[in-house]
Structure 1
Amino acid sequence: MTPIQKLLIVEGIDDKYVISRLLQRRKITYKHFEIRDANGIRQSLNAFSIAIKSGNYDVIGIVVDADTDLLERWQDLKNRLTKEGYKQIPQNPNPKGTIIVEPEEELPTIGIWLMPNNDKTGMLEDFIRFLVPEDDELLPIAQNQVNNIIKTGQNRFTKAHKSKAIIHTWLAWQERPGTQLGKAITYRFIKSQQYILDDGKASNFINWLQALFKE
């Protein structure tokens, strides 16, 4: 059996399903490629460092949430890469996805994507929100509902999870309520068969994956 040579580390199962479904929708496949759900941000960062040290991979990508401090997350990743011998690390993340190659060192090619888009704080749910068509009528209502709940102090979720509340509220109002994030990528309206999400808005992310994991 050929060993896996290309690894993409993600924070959680939703990230794994969203990315898998995006690739499926674009009919993109890679050889010797694994998407690994590390089950949390700390676990993802640690798995990233361990994968580099292992010497088992030609290419290692990581997709993590920027959360509330994008620069702090970026600095953490930079520190880990510097510790492993990387020198060609940009000062700031590339808005179209970062790829780091060390031609003079025997180190794997590295790819970094900070959800949602490398230059804003946020998470996977913000990435999904970007894919909602601009003429969608329900998303603004869902946003207002969540804002009103926060304003009146009735929210049981933390403000850091506001985006999660908005996108899951929006999904709950579709023809098939409660659709998981991953399945939302390939969800179509029953009558029109139109997709509820516009994968064209994910082109920067898809292009980054293709550049990183190209055959």
Structure 2
Amino acid sequence: MSKNLLIVEGNADKHFIKEFLRCENLDIDLDVHVATAPEVDNNVNYTTKQGVIKALNTLIPQLNDGRYERIGTVVDMDFRHDSKLSIKDLTLVQLSNVLNQYDFNRDMKSIDNQGIFFMSDEFDHPIGVWLMPDNDNEGYLEHWIINSIKDKSMSHFDKAELFIERFDNTHFKSTTIAKAKVYTWLAIQKKPCMDLSRCLKSESNLLDRNSSSYQNFKAWIVKTFS
């Protein structure tokens, strides 16, 4: 078992990030687990951002006993709320409420689009936080994919997007419409599929590895776990 742990909300996130590591040839010893996995926390039984945040209460003490050396989290910003705070600020408040209890405080010197980090004087490594899709805007993994699509692939995505938008304006929830667009886009490729990680493969030639969204996420993984 690795000394490095990344916790995510769901299996799609887990599979995608593991494939990202492979495609980028990142030589990082890293376990990627869903927050509900028994090796993370037997008491968490739901795959949401709140599940990830709750799991931190179990994981952070394991930095003290040496089980883990580095911990990172990827959470979505995909929910509606009644708070006057922005979805980003509300998410950071929720994370800070847990992390501050263990003397991890947000590093205000870091640039948010390159990831958010919580530092502690007691530990050598920060806890890395990535707020999907870009640490600023509301969304989730599929929004990150949209932000990373190659220019020459956008014409097909635009057609998929137009189809979904014209399909039925009551059929999709606002929090799932980006998923419908991305999966439709994948379904109209020369090799149709329903696997998000397919777009990471070099032979698919769908994502721009030099895009800021792609490179920022890669840099965050390296900084958090290397």
Look up the match of 1:73.
91
Query: Which among 185, 208, 211 is matched to residue 198 of structure 1?
Result: 208
Pairwise CA distance, 1:118: 0.4
- Secondary structure, counterpart of 2:162 in structure 1: helix
TM-score normalized by structure 2? 0.81
Q: What one-letter code is carried by the residue in structure 2 that aligns with 1:127?
A: W
Query: Identity rate of aligned residues, in percent?
Result: 27
Deviations 1:2-52 (A, max 9, x none): x53111111111111221122111111213x21112251222222222110
- Secondary structure, counterpart of 1:35 in structure 2: strand
Does the aligned pair in 2 maintain the 1:22–1:199 contact within 8 Å?
no
**Paired residues, what number?**
202
Look up the match of 2:136.
119
* Alignment partners' CA distance in 2, 1:84 and 1:47: 14
Aligned CA distance change for structure 1 residues 114 and 75 (closer, same or farther; 3 Å)? same
Pairwise CA distance, 1:121: 0.5
Pairwise CA distance, 1:93: 7.4
- Secondary structure, counterpart of 2:15 in structure 1: helix
Aligned CA distance change for structure 1 residues 12 and 135 (closer, same or farther; 3 Å)? same
* Alignment RMSD (CA, Å): 2.2
Pairwise CA distance, 1:84: 1.9
Look up the match of 2:61.
53
Pairwise CA distance, 1:150: 4.2
Does the aligned pair in 2 maintain the 1:74–1:93 contact within 8 Å?
no
Deviations 1:154-212 (A, max 9, x none): x1x312111101101111111122230123211624xxxxx122222200000111111
Does the aligned pair in 1 maintain the 2:118–2:127 contact within 8 Å?
yes
Gaps in structure 2 of 5+ consecutive residues: 37-46, 80-86
Gaps in structure 1 of 5+ consecutive residues: 190-194
Aligned CA distance change for structure 1 residues 124 and 21 (closer, same or farther; 3 Å)? same
TM-score normalized by structure 1? 0.85
Superposed counterparts of 1:153-172, under 5 Å: 153=170, 155=171, 157-172=172-187
